[in-house]
Amino acid sequence: MPLSATRQARLENGLPKIEITLPEVGVQVAPETYFDGTHSDFWLEIGFGKGEHLAALAAAHPEIGMIGSEPFLNGVSGLVDLVVEGNLPNVRVFKDDARLLMDSLPEASIGRAFILFPDPWPKARHHKRRMVSAGNIAVLSRILKDGAELRIGTDHMEYCRWIMAHMLASADFVWQCDNPADWRNRPDDWPSSRYEIKSREAGRVSSYLRFIRRPRSL
């Protein structure tokens, strides 16, 4: 759907102030390079939709540099609106495939990452397109700090089983779960998104999965 004239103008004015431009292929850039001022940590959301979750975290944690990646223009426009309306100087946006951004980040440079309600690509021939894969898990393992948290949300049960199988196959992550409530209930510090609300209204049940990056070997 085309953007309205007002949203297009806001996007053209606001995006250049927060957009990330990657270095040449093979060059890695520390996340603090993209921000003004000093931040205590840097968090990454992969596929932020319309940006509600990322903007809520940015408002709650002004000391954190929030980086979001989203290839779709309507989603980017939605986040730019929220950044302007909320006066959120600690947000940066990469409007392309998150894997390009992740490849450009140094080892152990991200303190928390989020993959929330990604496309489940339900047809078997499309499973290779799923964001949660052995290759992407390995990249996340590289860029996450020791003890960093990876949060993954989904309302697609078959994809949830896929996610768990792939994450538990990695020796670099530990699932944070003591009882079923730990993955059935959204934690208080996990803001909801527009998609999640619509999913719940449609009667679908979501899973909220949390994993911790194991310490690297000394």
Question: Annotated catalytic sites, by residue?
Answer: 119
Residue 44's alpha-carbon distances to 82, 122, 135, 181, in angstroms, are 17, 25, 17, 25
The helix/strand/coil state of 77 is: helix
Residue 168's alpha-carbon distances to 67, 171, 211, in angstroms, are 26, 7, 10
Determine phi and psi for 129, rounding to 5 degrees: -85, -10
| CA neighbor of 121 nearest in space, from 168, 156, 69 | 156
Q: Tell me the torsion sign for CA atoms 73, 78, 83, 84.
A: positive
Radius of gyration of the chain (CA): 17
